[in-house]
Amino acid sequence: MLSVTFIITLMVTIVFITAEYLNKSSKETILSNEEIIKYINISDDLSAGGIQLNWQEIAAVNGAIADGNFEINGENINNIVNSFYNKDASGNVVELKKFKAAIKALNLSSEQEEKANEYLEGLKNNYIHRELIMDNSKLQFIDKVSEVAYDNYKSYGILPSITIAQAILESGWGESTLSSKYNNLFGIKADERWSGDSIDLETKENYDDVIVGAFRSYGDIKSSIKDHGKFLYENERYSANGLFQAKGYKEQAQALENAGYSTAKDEEGNLIYGDKLIRVIQENNLMLYDTKVQR
């Protein structure tokens, strides 16, 4: 039989944990998927100078100015976006300011600044892919790929969002046979230019086409990610289709499709690779990794 002391201790513990949870939840700012995609799209549209805006930062400032109303107002958004950019004498964007510097430039009240910081913190767990925040394995996969993706961006100009999205899409979050056994995250085939190890596996190319292909095999995931950037950079068809001239993730995703990275099609025969990459990026906030490396 449970003692009275134990029961009281248990009840106090439950009350404490509940209070902590409610306190944490009250600080979270939850936007609907529709609101998130609106902020993502407007941030993409207004990104300039090849620098990706952080939609969460734009939303946080907008909410602070509008006293908790996150509805998008065109004039407000333009003013907010301009506060994030440093420009040269000709008006060209040369740098993206840090969040605190941007809100200072808007001359917000101290209360609005406090709210903006609070909203930004509360928006960090806002994903269209709602389950992501509770899936440690997927979060760890993103972190692992992003570490090398930053280096690839600096070396080759491939946006981190693109590298991470391709890794997710091509490897099924690192769970495919090709990735889990042979560390090939990107489905890169072993053609005559490849002198390393290879493995023959079945692959699904189109809506219902299955073929056997020879794929590159790596000693570790890091080698796969590095080779991905090198593969794209050295293959002329990617440059010819504008991959390295594209400034945003949507343009780079389309360039990969146009260059034939994947011939995946839907039931009606339409190429879908670019759209699939964009969806993965938006659902998992991968464009925020672009902001981080470009800032």
| DSSP codes joined into one string, 101-163 | HHHHHTT--HHHHHHHHHHHHHHTT--SSGGGGG-HHHHHHHHHHHHHHHHHHHHH---HHHH
The whole-chain average pLDDT of the chain stands at: 91
In 195-258, alpha helices (H): 221-234, 236-240, 249-258
- Give this prediction's pTM: 0.87
Question: If we measure between CA atoms, which residue out of 140, 199, 272 comes closest to residue 187?
Answer: 199
The neighbour count for residue 106, using CB atoms within 10 Å, is 17
Binning pLDDT at 50, 70 and 90, where does residue 195 land? very high
**Residues 186 and 143 occupy one common structural domain:** yes
Distances (CA, A) of 215 to 191, 194, 195: 8, 10, 12
How many percent of the chain have pLDDT more than 90?
A: 80
**Residues 115 and 153 occupy one common structural domain:** no
Higher pLDDT, 206 or 279: 279
Question: If we measure between CA atoms, which residue out of 142, 72, 64, 134 comes closest to residue 106?
Answer: 64
Higher pLDDT, 18 or 244: 244
What confidence tens digit (pLDDT) does each residue in 254-288 have?
Answer: 999 999 999 889 999 999 999 999 999 999 999 99
Which residue pairs from 137-141 have beta carbons closer than 8 angstroms and sit at least 24 positions apart in sequence? 137/173, 138/173, 141/167, 141/168, 141/173, 141/174
Phi, psi (degrees; rounded to nearest 5) at 255: -65, -40
What confidence tens digit (pLDDT) does each residue in 102-117 have?
Answer: 999 999 999 999 999 9
| Within-domain flag for 21 | no
**Residues 62 and 200 occupy one common structural domain:** no
Q: Average of pLDDT values for 68-96? A: 94
**Residues 122 and 232 occupy one common structural domain:** no
201 membership: H or E segment, kind and range: strand 198-204
Q: Is 198 helix (H, G, I), strand (E, B) or coil?
A: strand
| Within-domain flag for 3 | no
What confidence tens digit (pLDDT) does each residue in 134-171 have?
Answer: 999 999 999 999 999 999 999 999 999 999 999 999 99
d(CA 64, CA 67): 5
The token pair at 226 is 């590095």
Q: Which of 94, 110, 126 is the last residue of a domain?
A: 126
> What pLDDT score does 15 carry?
44
Handedness of CA 163, 165, 170, 175 (dihedral sign): positive
Domain residue limits at 260? 131-294
The token pair at 209 is 């086409």
**Residues 172 and 232 occupy one common structural domain:** yes
SS (H, E, C) 35-90: HHHHHHHHHHHHCECCECCCHHHHHHHHHHHCCCCCCCCHHHHHHHHHHCEEECCC
The neighbour count for residue 11, using CB atoms within 10 Å, is 10
DSSP assignment, residue 174? T
d(CA 199, CA 182): 8
Q: Which of 66, 101, 126 is the last residue of a domain?
A: 126
> What pLDDT score does 263 carry?
87
> What pLDDT score does 142 carry?
99
**Residues 90 and 167 occupy one common structural domain:** no
**Residues 118 and 171 occupy one common structural domain:** no
> What pLDDT score does 176 carry?
95
How many domains is the chain partitioned into structurally?
A: 2
The token pair at 6 is 């134990």
What confidence tens digit (pLDDT) does each residue in 282-295 have?
Answer: 999 999 999 999 99
Pairing, β 210-216 against β 85-87: unpaired
Q: What is the CA radius of gyration of the chain?
A: 23
> What pLDDT score does 5 carry?
60
**Residues 255 and 154 occupy one common structural domain:** yes
Return the amino acid letter for 208.
Answer: D
